[in-house]
Amino acid sequence: MGYVSGLRGISSGQGYSSDVPMNLDPVDGRPVEMVLDLERLARERADGAWYDPSRRDMWRFGGLMALDITDPADAAHIVPLGEGCTPLLDYADHPVARAAGLALSVKDEGRPHAGFGANPTQSFKDRGMAMVVAQARRLGLSRLAVPTQGNAGDSLVRYGIAGGLSVVVAMPPDTPSPILGNVAAAAHMHPGQVVLELAGPTIREAGALLKAQYLEHGWFSVATFQEPGWRIEGKKSLGLELAEPAPGDTRWSLPDAVVYPTGGGTGVLGMWKAWDELEALGLIDARRPRMLCVQSSAMAPLVRAFDEGREDTTAASGPGTIAFGLNVPAGVGHFRVLQIVRASGGACVAVEEGDIAAEFSRVWQQTHGWIGPEGAACLAALPQLIERGLVKAGERVVVVNTGSAEKYLPAIRDLMP
């Protein structure tokens, strides 16, 4: 059954069974993560066969995933829909990158689905939700609930239907209509199995509705970090993909810097965990990319805490950003994001809304590549990152574009002239 040996409180270090559903660590109310027995993995799979690069989805990291698709017992829980294995686009021609001599690329999580090599609902949330649904099936959980501002709900619905689970998605009524429409249509096509609850104005009210009407009646919350480390394990595949050998090569390696649009931060925790595990396996050394977490000045709890040297965020307020995924005023995983950023020699930086919009429009005009506003926020941060010496000439810099602009229409229509 794969190499998971248990759960561990991220902050407390307290161990728990991974076979019993739980939410936050009862010791300190902080998230838990899954622990893999890497020594056993190294011992049993010394031939390196835990990794199958010919498989074109995130499950090709077989034994290093929290469920090993090469193990028939694990594979029975997994519902592969093509998630992961997303393209790394060459952005060396980006004007700022060219002027500064950066080897810039964009990891594009928002590509339209084409079977494999793209996320089925066009966002990085699919990595997490694919793992969530697989783990829920492993534990016999049949009813999952998530509050969301969009993509996470669309993703959970897709995997829930495919995996035969019931899901309830609570979202604000001003969620962009393509996402809302996907979930509403699924709710109609799968009555009883998929439930859409609209509650607002923010995700906070959506969460309160779930708590009152569902969680107390046996539905399991898979809100960010409420599930026991599952979404981290899914997002981990993003870090593994950034490290894996180029075709024909055998050396695992990391970029010099990762520019990441950070909301709740699951992806930061996932990537960091991936690299720690690769180091434990002896595949990379102790060096890490500088983690450069980008937020909007319209919602910047991490940036404020980072600049003030604090260990955790306090709830931010702000008008909110067109980079919808960054509208996260607080998060139980933020303390860990701050630890990671500092350990990496990185930073949390804020970009102005006007700069996000301008960069988004510019990229749209030049590429029509449907890059999302979160990815655009990262590109808009480049001048600041260069000026502050956080990325330098000759360095390999990866921007993560977490989703497609397509999902946010018509809310961002005016930026797509």
Element housing 347 (H / E): strand 347-351
Per DSSP bridges, beta strands 88-90 and 103-108 are antiparallel
Residue 122 Cβ vs a second copy, minimum distance, rounded to whole Å: 8
Phi, psi of 239 (to 5 degrees): -65, -40
By beta-carbon proximity to a second copy, the closer residue of 64 and 412 is 412
Biggest CA-to-CA distance, the chain: 57
Strand partners, 143: 166
| DSSP string of 88-117, one letter each residue | EEE-TTSHHHHHHT-EEEEEETTPPP-SSS
Show the tokens assigned to 291: 């983690």
354 touching a second copy, by CB under 8 A = no
Question: In what side-by-side order are the strands of the sheet with 32-36?
Answer: 15-16, 4-9, 32-36
Among 22, 184, 280, 358, binds a second copy (CB under 8 A): 184
Among 18, 135, 149, 182, binds a second copy (CB under 8 A): 182
Show the tokens assigned to 270: 């996932």
368 touching a second copy, by CB under 8 A = yes
Among 64, 168, 196, 274, binds a second copy (CB under 8 A): 196
By beta-carbon proximity to a second copy, the closer residue of 214 and 370 is 370
Return the sign of the alpha-carbon dihedral for residues 155, 161, 165, 167.
positive
Q: Which of residues 51-70 bind a second copy (CB under 8 A)?
A: none
Among 101, 164, 319, 410, binds a second copy (CB under 8 A): 410
Strands (E), 143-216: 143-147, 166-171, 194-198
Element housing 42 (H / E): helix 38-44
Residue 251 Cβ vs a second copy, minimum distance, rounded to whole Å: 34
By beta-carbon proximity to a second copy, the closer residue of 188 and 251 is 188
Element housing 178 (H / E): helix 177-189
Distance in angstroms between the alpha carbons of the first and the last residue of the chain? 51
Phi, psi of 139 (to 5 degrees): -90, 0
Among 75, 103, 162, 198, binds a second copy (CB under 8 A): 198
366 touching a second copy, by CB under 8 A = no
Among 1, 76, 92, 185, binds a second copy (CB under 8 A): 185
By beta-carbon proximity to a second copy, the closer residue of 58 and 180 is 180
| DSSP reduced 3-state for 275 | helix
Residue 201 Cβ vs a second copy, minimum distance, rounded to whole Å: 10
Tell me the per-residue interface mask from 76 to 115 with a second copy, x by CB under 8 A, - otherwise: ------------------------------------x---
Cβ-proximal residues to 83 (8 Å cutoff; 6+ apart), any chain: 57, 58, 119, 120, 126, 127, 130, 234
* Region binding a second copy by CB under 8 A among candidate stretches 31-39, 53-61, 182-190, 289-297: 182-190
By beta-carbon proximity to a second copy, the closer residue of 214 and 225 is 214
Separation of alpha carbons 275 and 134, rounded Å: 23
By beta-carbon proximity to a second copy, the closer residue of 201 and 319 is 201
Name the CA radius of gyration of the chain, rounded. 20
Residues in the chain: 417
* Region binding a second copy by CB under 8 A among candidate stretches 24-32, 41-49, 317-325, 408-416: 408-416
38 with 3: CB under 8 angstroms? yes
By beta-carbon proximity to a second copy, the closer residue of 62 and 160 is 160
* Region binding a second copy by CB under 8 A among candidate stretches 159-167, 188-196, 254-262, 309-317: 188-196
Q: How far is CA 269 from CA 225, 238, 326, 398, in A?
A: 11, 11, 16, 17
16 with 8: CB under 8 angstroms? yes
Residue 200 Cβ vs a second copy, minimum distance, rounded to whole Å: 9
* Region binding a second copy by CB under 8 A among candidate stretches 23-31, 157-165, 178-186, 299-307: 178-186
Among 5, 177, 297, 361, binds a second copy (CB under 8 A): 177
Residue 236 Cβ vs a second copy, minimum distance, rounded to whole Å: 28
* Region binding a second copy by CB under 8 A among candidate stretches 180-188, 231-239, 330-338, 341-349: 180-188
The site that binds a second copy (CB under 8 A) totals a number of residues, namely 23
Query: Which residues of this chain interact with a second copy, rule CB under 8 A?
Result: 112, 173-182, 184-185, 188-189, 196, 198, 368, 406, 409-410, 413-414
